[in-house]
Amino acid sequence: MDTPRRRGLPHTIEADAAGLAERLRELGEGADGRILLGICGPPGAGKSFLAAELARILGRDTAVVVPMDGFHLATEIIRGTPLAERRGAIDTFDPGSYLALLRRLRARDEEVVYAPSFRRGLEEPIGSSVAIPRRIPVIITEGNYLLVDTPEWRAIRGQLDAVWYLDTPAPVRMPRLIGRHVEFGRAETDAAAFALGSDQTNADLIASTREDADLIVTLTG
């Protein structure tokens, strides 16, 4: 299951989290086994918020969130390299390990699988910090690059039953993104420069993958 499944032009909707949770329930009802949903979109789009809301609505016995950000390269790895100045770019992640985890979750043959998360404030991935019991039927994974057309990321897309693209207007997204950078330690001018520089370069790449999503979502409510 390592090749993406193209379905033609994506459907575009406006919906709140409750409506999207119902859509996810329906997706699960038509599936044989576990559902893996991907949520992608540019930095500041609200992916983590939406994933957490979907999991909350579905309930802890039904859904678990696995963030792609858990596969950031650690600071110790990128310190002193050009990658340190553009953390969050596609080459500052470990897609091979992310793919291996998704395959384990798809196989569903272990009693519990442990996934990493990303700790804001520390700005570091934290290993084995998300427990996914075998009984959980819905996995929600969110991240920037789920639809990028390179071999490793295509293989990642191939593990997902559907990918939703969260389409958030820049006037909403950018202040949110700058505020997040400030909250976690950047000066406001540095935060704005990073959001308009490295983050925007990443956002442009991500936006180029928008039409490959199964569903394009504008979140309401």
Report residue 212 CA to chain centroid gap.
15
The pLDDT of residue 4? 45
User: Measuring CA to CA, how many Å separate 46 from each of 1, 117, 132, 136?
Assistant: 28, 17, 23, 24
Contacts of 10 by beta carbon, 8 Å cutoff, 6+ apart: 165, 210, 211, 212, 213, 214, 215, 216
The angle subtended at Cα 66 by Cα 207 and Cα 176, nearest 5°, is 50
- Tell me if 147 sits within 8 A of 165, measured CB to CB: yes
Calpha distance 66→62 (Å, rounded): 13
The pLDDT of residue 52? 99
Buried/exposed code over 46-60 (b: 16+ C-beta within 10 A; e: otherwise)? bbbebbbbbbebbee
Which amino acid is located at 97 in the chain?
S
96: left (phi over 0), alpha (psi -120 to 50) or beta: alpha
The pLDDT of residue 8? 62
The pLDDT of residue 32? 80
The pLDDT of residue 120? 86
The pLDDT of residue 27? 94
Dihedral sign for Cα atoms in the order 210, 211, 214, 217 = positive
Domains annotated on the chain, with CATH = 11-219 (3.40.50.300)
pLDDT < 70: residue spans in the chain: 1-8
- Tell me if 117 sits within 8 A of 69, measured CB to CB: yes
The pLDDT of residue 3? 45
